[in-house]
Amino acid sequence: MGTMQRVAMYLLLTMVPLTGCGDDSAAVGTTVAAPGGLTVIYTNSGGGTAGTAAPLEFRVSDANGNPVPGVKVRFFGGGAIQRLMDRSGNALTSTDVTFFETTTDDRGLSPTDVYARWSVPVCNATADATATGSVEATIGVASATWTVSITASKC
């Protein structure tokens, strides 16, 4: 292999990892903003599940605050979050119901069909029962977390 071929191969091997990160044009300075968190209190709860009444819209913006369309967003549910679902209650993925991947729309928003379903704690006679869940949205260079605090009041 000649010198020019070695230089070309070296450049190719160093550039491939930089171009294959999967953040679909999200640049340094890009930010993700989460919707406001939620606090829910249940009285005399026997446990079960509940979910958001409105979709979770995360906003992706560039360094100047402008919306960034076409960026791949990955959602991860944790804690008391049982699944990410559409408005009909169907899981968004069949392999991992707490993970979802999509692309921002023209307004830099994640799709409007991402809802969270969480576990409701069972009340007990001595103290309130509290659980916390979260949904993190990440674009590779930035992330934001939406949280829900769920309390079943003492019965």
pLDDT tens-place string over residues 118-138: 999 999 899 999 999 999 999
142 within a domain of the structure (yes/no): yes
Q: Is 43 exposed, middle or buried (0-12, 13-18, 19+ CB in 10 A)?
A: exposed
What the block records as the tokens of 53 is 């009444």
Q: What pLDDT does residue 6 have?
A: 44
- Residue 7 pLDDT > 50, yes or no? no
- Residue 25 pLDDT > 80, yes or no? no
- The structural domain count of the chain equals 1
- Residue 4 pLDDT > 70, yes or no? no
127 within a domain of the structure (yes/no): yes
4 within a domain of the structure (yes/no): no
63 within a domain of the structure (yes/no): yes
18 within a domain of the structure (yes/no): no
CATH number for the domain including 137? 2.60.40
Domain span holding position 68: 24-152
Rounded to whole angstroms, how far apart are CA atoms 39 and 148? Answer: 6
104 within a domain of the structure (yes/no): yes
How does residue 26 score in pLDDT terms, banded at 50, 70 and 90?
low
